[in-house]
Chains A and B, each alone.
Chain A
Amino acid sequence: MKRGEKMRYAAGLLLLAAGAVMMAAGIRNGEMVTVMQKAIRICMECIGIG
């Protein structure tokens, strides 16, 4: 594997790991509840009424 490809692979792995950590932190902070509360009600703004 060439050096450039290795760097790209490492960057992808880093992004994946950072994403997983951030997602776990978001779940711990209760962001999923906020998302769910928004998503289970009809979003009036989304349909152009609210």
Chain B
Amino acid sequence: MEQRREKPRDLRRHLIQAAFFALTNGYAQGFATGRIYSGENKSLCVPGLNCYSCPGAYFACPIGSLQAVLNSRNFKVSCYVFGFLMMTGALLGRLVCAFLCPFGLVQDLIYHIPFPRKRKNMPGHSRLRWLRWLFLFVFVLALPSLVRNAAGIGKPWFCEYVCPSGTLLAGIPLVALTPQLQASIGWRFWLKCSILAAVLALSLKYYRPFCKYVCPLGALYGACNPISFYRFRVDQEKCVRCGSCQAACRMDIRVFEHPNSPDCIRCGDCLRACPTHALTSTWQDLQQRTVRDLPDPSAASAEPASALRTAIGFVLAALGLVMLAGFGLLTALTFAGVFLGQADSYTLVGLISLYGSAFMDTVIGYILMKAGALILHGRGRSFFALRAVRMLVPAAALLIITRILAQFNANAFSALAAGILWWSLPIVQLILALSCRAGKKPAEEGSD
């Protein structure tokens, strides 16, 4: 029997998954009334498998959107959705599966339930893992494009006959909330419920069976894993090929040989399990590189403190604290306002700007406070020399351009600007996380 225990890393990951789920499915009014959100956000896709008919969904599912465009009369290919998937794949690869997919979270949580003889893989794993390509090519691409009715309109085959995520997030809640739908259910609904029940039952014993064998989105992102910007690296000089990484990996990958395997969902269990720290992620490499940029803190603190430095540090720290508290509260209130059902009154750009502005101002407040505190400790120069802080300049420029474009209210420009802003938020979060390291001395600095 495979030995498992709840790990702090799992908890952190589940918190991120839950937060992202709440953020993208927070339309509480939908769950109360059985009606779905119909604002302009619905023209944007989320990275994970998240049905747009879920009563709480603010955004569209990429697989559903892909089929919707392919089976329409007006288009033969979907540049918009493929472009979105290519960009997400190039940046994150299957990191989306581990951190941003609601159905991944459901399977993860079910796998934590104690059950005898837990296994990582189903019997015939090596052959079954190719099935997800079959689902992608047949149910998502070929059938919706080729099989059409007399009016020239096709069907979303994967959504209609397979997707258990849609059944769980949309089918069951909507049928439960709407008497008219209850009267209309037929064999297809029960077929989808059976598929969902089978996937959930299998998730008790096997780790993420849907992601391993069925998910077409996982197949697409997996193909991007070997070239995505977020990747794992093996230091061959440190690696002793002990197999600890594979033992920890619940996707059962020989990580020391294939760190960027298409099956890897980037949960990071292998990084923690490696006894020689031979495995690193892009995230860890970036953090390490940033910490190395810092000069020796003991030399910096040896400088005599001047009244001017103290005054500047104090003013910056106080201003940052006020901004952090004020705009942090505003961000929270903005989210709360949207969750309470005010979202319909905002336009797409308005809603994203609202989130983005308050969030950005909170981040700037934090950075100012941090800078002030470091100046007070005589380390201000080292903070502003950080690559991470210099990265803030293009992010701020991007935000200003986005806001100017939004003023023109031209649809294409607004949509592009909203997309850019959408992607700039994780970048700002990255800067924030990196700047958190500014006050720490690198562990290996002495050995360099």
Q: Describe B's contact surface by its main secondary structure.
A: helix
Chain A: which residue is nearest B192 at the CB level? A48
User: Interface extent on B, as a size class?
Assistant: 35 or more
- Chain B 84-111, CB-CB to A under 8 Å as 1, else 0, gives 1111111100000000000000000000
Interface centre among B64, B78, B86, B174 (most CB of A within 10 A): B86
Contacts of B64 in A (CB 8 A): 38-39, 43, 46
* A22 CB to nearest B CB, Å: 3
Task: Flag B52-79 by CB within 8 Å of A: 1 or 0 each.
Answer: 1100000011001100110010110011
B26-40 residues at the A interface, CB under 8 angstroms: 36-40
Q: Which of B125-133, B155-163, B379-387 contacts A (4 or more CB under 8 A)?
A: B155-163
Q: Tell me whether A12 and B229 are in contact (CB under 8 A).
A: yes
Interface residues of A in 14-46 (CB under 8 A from B): 15-16, 18-36, 38-43, 45-46
- A19 contacts B86, C-beta separation under 8 Å: yes
Q: Pick the contact of A29 from B52, B75, B90 — CB < 8 Å?
A: B75
Tell me if A23 and B84 are in contact (CB < 8 A): yes
Tell whether, in the assembled complex, residue A19 and residue B68 are in contact, meaning their CB atoms are under 8 Å apart: no
B45 contacts A by Cβ under 8 Å: yes
- Is the beta-carbon distance between B80 and A40 smaller than 8 angstroms? no
Chain A interface: which size bin?
Answer: 35 or more
* A17, chain B: closest CB distance, angstroms: 9
Interface centre among A19, A29, A43 (most CB of B within 10 A): A43
Known: A26-B78, A32-B415, A45-B155. A38 touches B68 (CB 8 A): yes
A19 and B181 contacting across the interface, CB-CB below 8 Å: no
Residues of A whose CB lies within 8 Å of any CB of B are 8, 11-13, 15-16, 18-36, 38-43, 45-50
Top 8 A-B pairs, shortest CB-CB distance: A26-B80, A19-B86, A23-B83, A22-B83, A26-B79, A19-B87, A48-B189, A47-B171
